[in-house]
């Protein structure tokens, strides 16, 4: 969060992401959809863009089917 805040001083996109994380505890659905549609515009040799991609990927939740399957496997 500190890194996003620091990067956000010079990059309004990252400033908005950091504010969303601070305000709602995650990124918004709009952020999620926007990045999915526009990820090809990012240069992933730049560390801040790589960090955002990692946050995006790690934040994705499992589908309900996967959660249910895991739950049922634990019960058996």
> What is the structure's pLDDT at 11?
92
pLDDT in tens, 5-32: 899 999 998 898 888 888 888 778 888 8
> What is the structure's pLDDT at 25?
81
Separation between Cα atoms, residue 4 and residue 14, nearest integer Å: 6
Is residue 3 within 8 Å of 21, Cβ to Cβ? no
Residue 6 in tokens: 């620091």
- What predicted TM-score, i.e. pTM, was given to this entire model? 0.66
> What is the structure's pLDDT at 12?
92
> What is the structure's pLDDT at 44?
93
Is residue 14 within 8 Å of 6, Cβ to Cβ? no
pLDDT in tens, 41-71: 999 999 999 988 988 888 777 677 777 888 8
């Amino acid at each position: 969060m500190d890194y996003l805040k620091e990067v956000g001083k010079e990059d309004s996109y990252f400033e908005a992401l950091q504010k969303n994380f601070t305000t709602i505890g995650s990124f918004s659905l709009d952020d999620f959809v926007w990045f999915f549609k526009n990820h090809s515009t990012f240069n992933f040799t730049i560390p801040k863009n790589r960090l955002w991609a990692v946050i995006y990927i790690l934040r994705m939740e499992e589908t309900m089917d996967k959660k249910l399957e895991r739950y049922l496997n634990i019960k058996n």
